[in-house]
Amino acid sequence: TRTPVNVTVTGAAGQIGYALLFRIASGHLLGPDVPVKLRLLEIPQAVKAAEGTAMELDDCAFPLLKGIDIFDNPADGFAGANIALLVGARPRTAGMERGDLLSANGGIFKPQGEAINAGAADDIKVLVVGNPANTNALIAQQHAPDVPAERFTAMTRLDHNRAISQLAQKTGAAVGDIAKLTIWGNHSATQYPDIFHAEIAGKNAAETVNDEAWLADTFIPTVAKRGAAIIEARGASSAASAANAAIDHVHTWVNGTAAGDWTSMGVVSDGSYDVPAGLISSFPVTCKDGKWEIVQGLAVNEFSRGRIDASVRELAEERDAVRELGLI
């Protein structure tokens, strides 16, 4: 029998947490034969709600779930963690300036990075979901100097999945026939969903669509603004699809990308595609044996270059702002 994998989830009592925990416990995060132990990290005021969720997890009698512990401090929450899903974050409220938002999140992700550095397992893998995800991941990573930087990633898989779905609807293709789509840059309105290298049943997607106006005026803004459209329609933010994307991100990282395909992940840049080294930016990546690698050698046309540069510029501004605030 395998040793259970310790999975820490922050913001466990929140909306995404509620959609996420049951799928982790049922085996969708790591695989149908991998036992897990959940470590739920919440702020003290939300511990009681997390206990309620834990009661429901118990009531599912999941065979793979080998334990649930609830914590209100990062040191205990991350102790021994093999996988950490950093979902809890401080949302932007009305009238909040970017500096205030970054400061509030620095107050969350700095101590979490320190706690991961101090007590997580040697094979720790971190996914940051809480927004601003790329910069929160950078803050945590910068405070975990003993953990290899490539273990800190930010989620753009929801954007990736949204783009596949939009492309499938436009072309009438099955989602399973779409491969090699890329989200570049920041998980924000500046992100760039790129179909120039994507394939639909083996054929180039951009050539199949052959409609640059649709790309520029419909596809890209629809993907980038999908979160706002869902809030407008549901009266609540996208939680189930975000949880699904977090499951996909970690599953792919651990179990690998399919042959002939890649995925999108926010990862530490090594300078590839002229993205300044050290920024946590979304790239096309392949995964194998629990490691990711940026896909190399893709031609970047003028249409793509300007959009990648704009999103990366925003990431650099966020990094400079958190530097100025003394958060990294």
Active site residues per annotation: 187
| Residue 70 is a binding residue for ligand NAI (CB under 6 A) | no
- Region binding ligand NAI by CB under 6 A among candidate stretches 53-61, 62-70, 143-151, 238-246: 238-246
- Do 67 and 33 form a contact (C-beta atoms < 8 A)? no
- CA dist 115 and 113 (Å) reads 5
| Residue 190 is a binding residue for ligand NAI (CB under 6 A) | no
| Residue 11 is a binding residue for ligand NAI (CB under 6 A) | yes
Q: Which amino acid is at 120?
A: A
Among 87, 137, 163, 315, binds ligand NAI (CB under 6 A): 87
Task: Find the shortest distance in angstroms from Cβ 297 to ligand NAI.
Answer: 28
Task: Find the shortest distance in angstroms from Cβ 144 to ligand NAI.
Answer: 16
| Residue 46 is a binding residue for ligand NAI (CB under 6 A) | yes
Q: Which helix (H) or strand (E) holds 14?
A: none
Angle in degrees, CA 72, 76, 79, rounded to 5: 145
Binding to ligand NAI (CB under 6 A) within 93-122 occurs at: 108
Determine if residue 17 is labeled as part of a ligand binding site. Answer: yes
Say how many C-beta atoms besides its own lie within 10 A of residue 242's C-beta. 22
Determine if residue 12 is labeled as part of a ligand binding site. Answer: yes
Determine if residue 16 is labeled as part of a ligand binding site. Answer: yes
- Do 158 and 225 form a contact (C-beta atoms < 8 A)? no
List the one residue out of 13, 19, 86 whose CA is nearest residue 52: 13
**Cα–chain-centroid distance for residue 66?**
25
Determine if residue 142 is labeled as part of a ligand binding site. Answer: no
Binding to ligand NAI (CB under 6 A) within 22-41 occurs at: 41
Binding to ligand NAI (CB under 6 A) within 248-287 occurs at: none
Binding to ligand NAI (CB under 6 A) within 121-180 occurs at: 129-131, 133, 155, 158
Cis preceding-peptide flag for 132 (omega within 30 of 0): yes
Say how many C-beta atoms besides its own lie within 10 A of residue 200's C-beta. 24
Determine if residue 226 is labeled as part of a ligand binding site. Answer: no
- What token pair was written down for 181? 């789509």
- Do 143 and 114 form a contact (C-beta atoms < 8 A)? yes
Question: Nearest-CB residue to ligand NAI?
Answer: 14
Task: Find the shortest distance in angstroms from Cβ 227 to ligand NAI.
Answer: 6
Q: CA torsion sign, 47 to 49 to 52 to 56?
A: negative
Determine if residue 23 is labeled as part of a ligand binding site. Answer: no
Determine if residue 77 is labeled as part of a ligand binding site. Answer: no
CB nearer to ligand NAI: pick between 35 and 130: 130
- What token pair was written down for 114? 């320190």
List the one residue out of 110, 96, 156, 125 whose CA is nearest residue 323: 110
- Which residues are CB-contacts of 222 (< 8 A; sequence separation ≥ 6)? 166, 229
| Residue 85 is a binding residue for ligand NAI (CB under 6 A) | no
CB nearer to ligand NAI: pick between 37 and 249: 249
- Region binding ligand NAI by CB under 6 A among candidate stretches 6-14, 62-70, 162-170, 298-306: 6-14
Residues that bind ligand NAI (CB under 6 A): 10-11, 13-17, 41-43, 46, 87-89, 91, 108, 129-131, 133, 155, 158, 187, 237-239, 242
Annotated binding site for substrate: 92, 98, 131, 162
